[in-house]
Amino acid sequence: MRIEIDGCIEVRETVILKDGRISIAMPEYKDHVVKIVILNDYGNSQESIEKFNTIDLSIVKKRENAILDGIRYKHGQSKSRETAKKFVKYITGFGIVTERDTSWITLNNNLYVKYSNSVIYDGEEGEYLWYSLSYKDIIERSNNPVVFAFIVRGSEKLVYIPFENIKNDFQKARDIRNNDWVHLNIVFINNSIVFKFKTGKDKEVIKTEFKTDDYYVSWDAFKNVLINWKIKEE
């Protein structure tokens, strides 16, 4: 039998026990998807070798003490808007949406929601999400309140934040970069969410911190934030 592991150059010989278990201890390859392909050879003829069973097991290993749920980064993975589409469909189902496009939702209480999705990355400080945002695109709508919905791919949880809470840091990063596009990492460290605005190579990162429990919420909790926005603001 042959075992193939995606992302690793390794082949091992092993056997399948009568109860179906594989008699081998698989090492933990941090943050890699492991694919096991089992080829059963029932005889010596070429005909029997061609008759094999394939078992495809996708195992995503989470780091110890992981906070985030969702799809974790792996090399070569494809981009997808599947989670974002599900999110828009979910929010639209409550009758509060008047307009929508590929990155904006307009609500019937004159609130704009800027949504974007990211997979989960692992960094030295902790798990983080990664987004690129156009300052011009956002500022053009800021005549009304704007709320960010930073969606986590493969999860029904997100990070939300009112634009006013990070506007100054956002604008400062844009000015330092001298570029409309701002790159943002949202890092989860213990009980805090740290918004890190990148300002360019060898330049100091702009940071601002919020409590995780206040802004990392389920879609259902975020829906309630949107519905009660006017009451909250008053």
Domains (ranges, CATH) in the chain? 1-61 (no CATH), 82-233 (3.40.1350)
pLDDT greater at residue 17 or residue 202? 202
Cα gap 13→168, rounded to integer Å: 59
Query: Is residue 220 pLDDT above 90, yes or no?
Result: yes
Q: Where are the alpha helices (DSSP H) in 118-210?
A: 135-139, 163-177
Average pLDDT (7-33) is: 56
pLDDT tens-digit readout, 170-214? 999 999 999 999 999 999 998 899 999 999 888 889 999 999 999
Beta strands (DSSP E) in 75-124 are: 97-100, 104-107, 112-118, 121-122
pLDDT confidence band for 216 (50 / 70 / 90): very high
Count the Cβ atoms, other than its own, within 10 Å of residue 116. 19
Cα gap 132→101, rounded to integer Å: 17
pTM above 0.75, yes or no: no
The pLDDT > 90 percentage for the chain reads 57
Cα gap 36→33, rounded to integer Å: 10
Cα gap 208→187, rounded to integer Å: 10
- Of 78, 87, 75, residue with least CA distance to 114: 87
pLDDT greater at residue 233 or residue 149? 149
Q: Are 84 and 117 in contact (CB under 8 A)?
A: yes
pLDDT confidence band for 45 (50 / 70 / 90): very low
Q: What residues contact 37, with CB distance under 8 A and at least 6 apart?
A: 2, 3, 4, 54, 55, 56
Q: What residues contact 192, with CB distance under 8 A and at least 6 apart?
A: 209, 210, 211, 212
pLDDT confidence band for 123 (50 / 70 / 90): confident
